[in-house]
Structure 1
Amino acid sequence: MMRLVRFSLLLFTLVFASLTPVHANENHPGIVTDLVVRSGNDWTGSPLPPYLMSAPEVAVMRFTIPPNTALPIHKHPAINAAYVIDGELTVFQEGGMQRNFKKGDVVIEMVEKWHHGINQGSVPVELVVFYATTKDLPLAIKKPNP
């Protein structure tokens, strides 16, 4: 139950924060918003592609990655962003750079580029990932084994 409450508060905060910069809301005393991230670039600094042209669909997934666990190498056909609820994740671009993301960080994912994440820490990594996709488009595509 506590996880559901924490997830609901997180989702409300992320949605509300994306609407306005940091300030107290004069119409609703006590509510403070904080823009966590707004960018046209992925975590490597590369520009995001134009948004999909067909009818949009939003998908939200929650991931728990155990300590010392690597995700498979994969790519995303649509724009998405992950909010790190807990832990620390290292994301690797295939043949390129890497970056660490910790609790409270946002990972704006690469589109159509192979990458993977690893939890090298001692606590599970918890992520909530928001996908701006279209109907029937996969959220991720695993790289085939050679």
Structure 2
Amino acid sequence: MLKLLSTALLFTSLSVSAATSVDLVKSTTSWDGTSLPAYTLTQPEVTIKEIVIAPGEKLPMHQHPAINAGVLLSGTLTVYSGDKVLNMQAGDSLVELVNTSHYGENTGTEAAKIIVFYISEKGHAVTVIDK
């Protein structure tokens, strides 16, 4: 009887932990409220980038011709587009602007590390620097 009880407790303790799933972001709009563009891809290509921005570093003004989303893993990041400003802290997620000029700046004291997921036409640029 004791052996049966011990075995039952072991199986119960093993089944207590289970995988979880949490949506960090799910949206039809970018962070500024603009609707994401509809587009069809002939050959989709997924790109995942780790971008590290040093303290005090300001990225150049740029655009993304592809829908993308990211999660700030560490540090702080401020994103500017015209008169719109987005302040991000570690753990924040965002859906980026598409075909809209913007830039990010690390105004914090530690590196800002962000993971960004892009989906585009195979071989096409996911970021274009403004001229």
- TM range, smaller chain: 0.7 to 0.9
Q: 1:132 aligns with which of 93, 103, 119?
A: 119
Letter aligned with residue 101 of structure 2: W
For the 8 Å contact 2:25–2:94, the answer to whether it is kept is: no
Q: How does 1:92-111 map to 2 (within 5 A)?
A: 92-93=80-81, 95-111=82-98
- The percentage of counterpart residues that share the same residue type is 33
The two structures have a TM-score, normalised by structure 1, of 0.76
CA contact (8 A) 2:55 2:111 kept: yes
Correspondence for 2:28 among 40, 44, 60: 40
Q: Using the alignment, how far apart are the partners of 2:56 and 2:66 within structure 1?
A: 28
Q: Given the two structures, how large is their TM-score scaled by the length of structure 2?
A: 0.84
- Is the CA contact 1:58–1:130 (under 8 Å) kept in the aligned structure 2? yes
The structure, 1 or 2, with the larger RCO (C-alpha pairs under 8 Å, 6+ apart) is 2
Change (3 A) 1:69 1:32: same
Q: What amino acid maps onto 2:93 in structure 1?
A: V
Tell me which of 87, 101, 119 is aligned to 1:114. Answer: 101
Q: Does the 8 A contact of 1:52 with 1:78 survive in 2?
A: no
Note the residue ranges of structure 2 that are not aligned, 5 or more in a row.
Answer: 1-14
The counterpart of 2:18, out of the listed 19, 24, 30, is 30
Cα distance in 2 for residues equivalent to 1:136 and 1:28: 45
User: What code does the residue aligned with 2:21 have?
Assistant: T
Which one has a bigger Cα radius of gyration?
2
Distance 2:20 2:34 in 1: 31
Q: Quote the RMSD (CA, aligned, Å).
A: 1.5
How far 1:143 sits from its partner (Å)? Answer: 0.7
Distance 1:133 1:28 in 2: 40
Q: Give the Cα–Cα distance (whole angstroms) in 2 for the partners of residues 57 and 50 of structure 1.
A: 16
